[in-house]
Amino acid sequence: MTSGTPTATFRDPAGSLSLEGDFAVRTIHPAAREKVLDFVSSEFCSRLQDRGDMVAITISDTPAGLRLLHPKVPVPTYPWEWTPSQWLAAAELTLSLCTEALTEGWVLKDATPLNILFVGSRPVLVDVLSFEPWDPAPRDHPSHIWLAYGQYVRTFLLPLLMNRMLSWPLELSLFKRDGYEPVELYKALSWPQRLSRQAFWPVTLPAKLDKVGSSKAVAGQPLRHKSPDLAIDLLKRTLANLRKHTRRAMPEYTGSEWANYTATLTHYTAQESAQKLDWVRHVLEDLKPARVLDIGANSGIFSALAASSGAQVVALERDAAAAESLYRMSRKSQLSIQTIHADFARPTPAVGWKNRETSTLLHRLEAKSDLVLMLAVIHHLILMEQIPIRSIIELAHRLTGRYLVIEWVPVNDPMFQSLMRGRDSLYGCLTEDDLLTACRGRFHTLRRQPLENGRILFLFAKD
């Protein structure tokens, strides 16, 4: 496998997952074969696939063993690259599928954001082995208790709650595969926070019970219900209660400088903004790209434009509030825009065992788009990150399959001057020729459009 490509998974006792060509292939271990076949052959499983709530499945049952083939998601993302609303959408899908499964004789045995991928703005369950038959009268645990309850709280609810209460970034989930423990969060909260309605039940109470000891905290064994209907009703109430608490954990959306950027910018007049929008629209209409990568998408104006033209769009934005606004817009408009909250200058690394369980962001984006948009981006990379123009163009060449759109911001532009911060000796002599020199041997110019404010829009094609 190439660098950044994940190896086969090994954590699920029922099977392992590997990437082969255009498919994600799940190899089922012999001991789980019959149980898995029962589920993937069920009407319930077919219904979830037809709705798009679960990844499509092709069954390959041969003497060599049972394998499930799934179409690969073009650009998979991980929870540490999601906005709060994406976390909520993934959480609600998980709870909804578990609730529906109960009436069909199934239950989710685990519940983690890592089981969800996004296709556009829509969450999709990809771990089909998460379902197992539901027994209304089990011997080893009460039937009304959801075994994945603790995992859901640790991996879904508590990261959102800490983002709301302590402003802990959701990106920290990169280092918390199994989520947060209530005891560690209890120590970080103030007493008013510990006693608040949001934190008392999922953090304070478990932390105190853990301190006392589970054997002393529980007076007796939970009641076992002989009635399957009563057990289902109690379990569904548990899931509904989790949904309520998860929604309450959502951070308040307040916006930011960059989330409100297009509404407050002063270096573009309305006429200049319209000129830029029309030029990009004509490029999209003429090229008709199937896939577009919008780097520095901000609130998503050009991502929406590309999606409206028929493209599947991946929108990359490092500002948390802007990315949240972008996702909400795409979800509400039902546009094919996949939001990734990540920093292009510091892309998500590969993590996990041997750094091979999840792949790097750049590996997932490489050559996946017909057109890459870098509108009002490269001067930020040059001035704020000190990245040479040639390096930026080299990376753009790797990411795009065919075309690249760049907005060149001249030195005398007010935004360029603001970001330069007195480093005139380093960047004060940059010109359009420097950009074109960096493109030599990689791109050639198809279109060049000067704007009235001095900025220049370029359409490049790969050599």
Q: From CA 14, how far away is CA 30, in angstroms rounded?
A: 8
pLDDT, residue 15, reads 87
Q: Are 300 and 336 in contact (CB under 8 A)?
A: no
Q: From CA 26, how far away is CA 29, in angstroms rounded?
A: 10
How do residues 175-211 score in pLDDT, each as one tens digit?
999 999 999 999 999 999 999 999 999 999 999 998 7
pLDDT, residue 252, reads 85
CA-wise closest residue to 91 among 74, 66, 120, 116: 116
Per DSSP, which regions of 409-451 are E strands?
A: 443-450
pLDDT, residue 140, reads 58
CA-wise closest residue to 332 among 124, 123, 121: 121
How do residues 402-428 score in pLDDT, each as one tens digit?
999 999 999 999 999 999 988 988 899
How do residues 8-46 score in pLDDT, each as one tens digit?
677 788 888 888 989 999 999 999 999 999 999 999 999
Residue 462, beta-bridge partner list: 443
- Residue 180: phi, psi to the nearest 5? -100, 145
pLDDT, residue 264, reads 46
Query: Where are the domains positioned within the chain?
Result: 15-71, 79-248, 261-462
C-alpha atoms less than 13 angstroms from C-alpha of 61 in its C-beta half-sphere: 10
Q: Kindly indicate whether the domain formed by 261-462 is annotated with CATH number 3.40.50.150.
A: yes
Cβ neighbour number for residue 121 with a 10 Å cutoff:
25
Query: How much is the mean pLDDT over the chain?
Result: 91
Which residues in the chain show pLDDT less than 50? 1-3, 215-221, 223, 258, 263-264
Q: From CA 78, how far away is CA 172, in angstroms rounded?
A: 12
pLDDT, residue 178, reads 94
pLDDT, residue 214, reads 53
CA-wise closest residue to 294 among 443, 408, 404, 380: 404
- Residue 138: phi, psi to the nearest 5? -75, 160
pLDDT, residue 32, reads 92
pLDDT, residue 220, reads 42
Structure tokens at 329: 């817009």
Question: What is the pTM assigned to this prediction?
Answer: 0.91
For residue 223, the 8-state DSSP code is: P
Q: Are 218 and 169 in contact (CB under 8 A)?
A: no
Q: Which residues 6+ apart lie within 8 Å of 179 measured at CB?
A: 112, 151, 153, 154, 155, 156, 158, 159, 173
Which residue, chain included where needed, has tokens 């998860």?
A: 246
How do residues 67-85 score in pLDDT, each as one tens digit?
999 999 999 999 999 999 9
